[in-house]
């Protein structure tokens, strides 16, 4: 396997250490274990097809309705990856001593399958999700794999379930795809998993985060930390999320949508819930700037949405040709003090959170130390930049703009 196939482009310094571990795992001198091989996929079609819910069915809100099939694949430290299986959606079976149940040996991805206005099914930069999953798996001592093979498996699942579960009659809708890997072997010993299970499911998810009032964020307190310098914030591993739920519940009970995670004594702004966070402000020198926290400290998750927004904004917003004033795009640390100052000096233009689940979500308020800081939303229900960026992405995802980020998936409902 060519190492270049797994070089995590765009995931540079934050995970350089993990990247080294990844290439060691893939190229090291371990006895030859079978690599993940999508061409060995076996198919067993469900004999009990489920009913596709209507779009207003309350089941959708539960994020628990799967499609007819899922992909699973087992790995052992003695023989490597077995043949992947496409099989009926259903429960997994685990020993009570399984590693994941005790030591959070789990990682996951979140992506969407989009039904285009042109009738085609698309994924958005699935290669980036698959590469990130390798980074996350490696961080939690789960086995390596060729990300391109995972991408093929994901496409196989959606090729088969897409036509029924995201029908052509639902243009502009999506299914949520959740590839995940767990340490599934029995045994309580605290050590790297000897067995793992990779799976991919497709789930109905409600459209979230698009309130016309904008999102209200509650800034984390000094005694609440999501991720830390040289920690695991950059990896999408289950262990990062459970500990945030307490703060999240408190935020919701106080009428906020998400926690804005701050870090350090200077209250650096990191992420909003499980989304990256952006502000657009005018500097004291009068320059219009889009700013988001950098990846280098291993605190921030390298979001595919984040990366795409940075790239498209650099390409399309640098010269004023978009119709909006030109902005400079910067990745660097900034603090709540900077944000509060920009607001009090009238330099704050807008703020938004961005990720696959919440998409591009305008922010109207941040509560910091019990003070409500208001963020402008010049376009009414959104800032103007967030609205434009969201439209670019929508156009790519749903086939209104032909762009390399949007990957068409061929449908083949025959097994
Ligand atoms: C998944 C996630 C994001 C968003 O990543 P996308 O690839 O854009 O979906 C941002 N922050 C955290 C903490 C996340 O878990």
- 3-state per-residue secondary structure call for 184-214: CCCCCCCCCCCEEEEEEEEECCCCCCCCCCC
Whether residue 308 has its Cβ less than 6 Å from ligand 1: no
Single out the residue in 173, 203, 233 at which a domain terminates: 203
Q: Whose CA is nearest to atom 10 of ligand 1?
A: 275
User: What's the 13 CA to ligand 1 centre distance in angstroms?
Assistant: 18
Instruction: Decide if pLDDT at 10 tops 50.
Output: no
Q: Specify the pLDDT at position 118.
A: 97
Q: Are 174 and 260 within one domain?
A: no
Q: Are 136 and 111 within one domain?
A: yes
Q: Are 130 and 248 within one domain?
A: no
Q: What is the mean pLDDT of the chain?
A: 93
Single out the residue in 203, 238, 271 at which a domain terminates: 203
Element (H, E) at 313: helix 304-316
Q: Specify the pLDDT at position 413.
A: 66
Residue 282: which of 333, 322, 325 has the closest Cα?
325
Whether residue 197 has its Cβ less than 6 Å from ligand 1: no
Q: What pTM was estimated for this model as a whole?
A: 0.93
CB-facing half-sphere around the CA of 188: CA atoms within 13 A: 2
Whether residue 209 has its Cβ less than 6 Å from ligand 1: no
pLDDT tens digits for 135-184?
999 999 999 999 999 999 999 999 999 999 999 999 999 999 999 999 99
Q: Specify the pLDDT at position 5.
A: 37
The verdict on residue 415 lying in a domain is no
The verdict on residue 281 lying in a domain is yes
pLDDT tens digits for 241-298?
999 999 999 999 999 999 999 999 999 999 999 999 999 999 999 999 999 999 999 9
Is the distance from CB of 133 to CB of 109 less than 8 angstroms?
yes
User: What's the 235 CA to ligand 1 centre distance in angstroms?
Assistant: 10
Share of the chain above pLDDT 90, in %: 88
Whether residue 356 has its Cβ less than 6 Å from ligand 1: yes
Instruction: Decide if pLDDT at 331 tops 90.
Output: yes
User: What's the 274 CA to ligand 1 centre distance in angstroms?
Assistant: 5
Mean pLDDT of 310-315: 98
pLDDT band for 412, please (50, 70, 90 cuts): confident
Pairing, β 215-219 against β 359-368: parallel
HEC string of 96-162?
CCCHHHHHCCEEECCEEEEECCCCCEEEECHHHHHHHHHHHHHHCCCCCCCHHHHHHHHHHHHHHHH
Q: Are 28 and 144 within one domain?
A: yes
The verdict on residue 154 lying in a domain is yes
Domain total for the chain? 2
Q: Specify the pLDDT at position 31.
A: 62
Whether residue 110 has its Cβ less than 6 Å from ligand 1: yes
Q: Specify the pLDDT at position 207.
A: 85
d(CA 132, CA 112): 15
The verdict on residue 409 lying in a domain is no
Instruction: Decide if pLDDT at 20 tops 70.
Output: no
| 28-32, 123-127, 277-281, 383-387, range with the lowest pLDDT | 28-32
Q: Are 221 and 123 within one domain?
A: no
pLDDT band for 12, please (50, 70, 90 cuts): very low
Whether residue 258 has its Cβ less than 6 Å from ligand 1: no
Domain span holding position 190: 14-203
Q: Are 230 and 374 within one domain?
A: yes
Mean pLDDT of 126-133: 98
Whether residue 295 has its Cβ less than 6 Å from ligand 1: no
The verdict on residue 209 lying in a domain is no
Identify the CATH number of the domain in which residue 276 sits: 3.20.10.10
The verdict on residue 398 lying in a domain is no
Instruction: Decide if pLDDT at 377 tops 50.
Output: yes
Q: Specify the pLDDT at position 394.
A: 97
User: What's the 300 CA to ligand 1 centre distance in angstroms?
Assistant: 9
Whether residue 306 has its Cβ less than 6 Å from ligand 1: yes
Mean pLDDT of 171-198: 97
Q: Are 142 and 221 within one domain?
A: no
Q: Are 371 and 222 within one domain?
A: yes
Q: Are 286 and 343 within one domain?
A: yes
Cβ atoms < 10 Å from Cβ of 269: 27
Instruction: Decide if pLDDT at 122 tops 80.
Output: yes
Whether residue 360 has its Cβ less than 6 Å from ligand 1: no
Longest distance between any two alpha carbons in the chain, whole Å: 66
pLDDT band for 115, please (50, 70, 90 cuts): very high
Q: Specify the pLDDT at position 47.
A: 96
- Report the residue among 130, 258, 259, 355 best suited for mutation to probe ligand 1: largest number of ligand atoms under 8 A from its CB: 355
Q: Specify the pLDDT at position 8.
A: 42
Identify the CATH number of the domain in which residue 27 sits: 3.30.470.10
The verdict on residue 260 lying in a domain is yes
d(CA 219, CA 372): 10
Backbone angles phi, psi at 169, to 5 degrees: -75, 0
Q: Specify the pLDDT at position 24.
A: 67
Q: Specify the pLDDT at position 325.
A: 96
Q: Are 134 and 233 within one domain?
A: no
Q: Are 157 and 275 within one domain?
A: no
The verdict on residue 402 lying in a domain is no
- Report the residue among 226, 234, 306 best suited for mutation to probe ligand 1: largest number of ligand atoms under 8 A from its CB: 306
Q: Are 34 and 150 within one domain?
A: yes
């Amino acid at each position: 396997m060519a190492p270049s196939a797994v070089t995590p482009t765009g995931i540079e310094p934050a995970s350089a250490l993990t990247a080294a571990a990844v290439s060691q795992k893939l190229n090291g001198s371990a006895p030859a274990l079978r690599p993940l091989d999508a061409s060995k996929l076996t198919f067993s079609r469900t004999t009990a097809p489920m009913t596709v819910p209507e779009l207003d069915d309350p089941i959708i809100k539960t994020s628990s309705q799967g499609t007819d099939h899922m992909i699973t694949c087992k790995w052992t430290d003695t023989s490597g990856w077995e043949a992947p299986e496409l099989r009926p959606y259903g429960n997994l079976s685990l020993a009570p001593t399984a590693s994941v149940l005790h030591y959070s040996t789990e990682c996951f991805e979140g992506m969407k399958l989009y039904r285009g206005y042109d009738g085609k099914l698309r994924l958005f930069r699935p290669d980036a999700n698959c590469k990130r999953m390798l980074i996350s798996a490696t961080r939690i001592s789960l086995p390596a794999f060729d990300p391109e093979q995972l991408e093929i498996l994901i496409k196989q699942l959606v090729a088969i379930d897409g036509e029924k579960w995201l029908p052509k009659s639902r243009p502009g809708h999506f299914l949520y795809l959740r590839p995940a890997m767990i340490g599934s072997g029995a045994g309580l010993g605290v050590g790297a998993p000897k067995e793992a299970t990779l799976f991919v499911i497709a789930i109905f998810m409600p459209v979230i985060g698009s309130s016309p009032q904008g999102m209200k964020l509650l800034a984390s307190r000094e005694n609440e930390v999501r991720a830390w310098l040289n920690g695991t914030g950059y990896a999408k591993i289950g262990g990062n999320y459970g500990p945030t739920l307490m703060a999240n519940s408190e935020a919701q009970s106080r009428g906020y949508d998400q926690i804005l995670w701050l870090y350090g004594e200077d209250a650096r702004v990191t992420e909003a819930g499980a989304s990256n966070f952006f502000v657009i402000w005018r500097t004291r020198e009068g320059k219009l700037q889009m700013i988001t926290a950098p990846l280098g400290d291993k605190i921030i998750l390298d979001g595919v949405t984040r990366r795409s927004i940075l790239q498209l904004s650099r390409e399309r917003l640098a010269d004023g040709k978009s119709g909006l004033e030109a902005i400079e795009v910067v990745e660097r640390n900034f603090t709540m003090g900077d944000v509060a100052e920009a607001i009090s000096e009238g330099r704050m233009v807008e703020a938004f959170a961005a990720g696959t689940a919440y998409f591009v979500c305008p922010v109207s308020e941040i509560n910091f130390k019990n003070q409500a800081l208001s963020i402008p939303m010049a376009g009414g229900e959104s800032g103007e930049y967030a609205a434009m960026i969201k439209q670019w992405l929508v156009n790519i995802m749903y086939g209104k703009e032909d762009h390399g980020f949007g990957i068409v998936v061929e449908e083949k409902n025959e097994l």
